[in-house]
Amino acid sequence: GAGVSQSPSNKVTEKGKDVELRCDPISGHTALYWYRQSLGQGLEFLIYFQGNSAPDKSGLPSDRFSAERTGGSVSTLTIQRTQQEDSAVYLCASSLGSPRGNTEAFFGQGTRLTVV
């Protein structure tokens, strides 16, 4: 596709259930990011994949959160035993991943997660 694609666009889940959020980055982009956007909190960095390097997981808020990127392309963010405070919009972005950090990150439209 032409842009970053995220699915589902909306997800309502019951507290305690596991959820998987998917991100299809732009073809050829080596860097992939996950951010969480909550009201009044701005964009909170979660995890960063760059090529074949070990991901930067420093932003994951708890061990209930994990992410993987298969074949350097599609990424899945998994939240186990969801809590109400996990309700947010989860944004994925990809970029060419310049070592100089000056390339534009392209964002998907996000997955709105609601935990009830």
Partner 1 sequence: AQSVTQLGSHVSVSEGALVLLRCNYSSSVPPYLFWYVQYPNQGLQLLLKYTSAATLVKGINGFEAEFKKSETSFHLTKPSAHMSDAAEYFCAVSSPRGYSTLTFGKGTMLLVSP
Q: Is 67 in the site for partner 1 (CB under 8 A)?
A: no
DSSP-assigned states of every residue in the chain: --S-EEE-SEEEE-TT--EEEEEE--TT--EEEEEEEETTTEEEEEEEEETTSPPB-TT--STTEEEEESTTS-EEEEE-S--GGG-EEEEEEEE---TTS-SPPEE---EEEEE-
Q: Is 1 in the site for partner 1 (CB under 8 A)?
A: no
Least distance between partner 1 and beta carbon 110 (Å): 6
Binders in 23-62 for partner 1, by CB under 8 A? 31, 33, 35, 40-43, 45, 48, 50, 53, 56, 59
Q: Looking at beta carbons only, is 74 or 105 nearer to partner 1?
A: 105
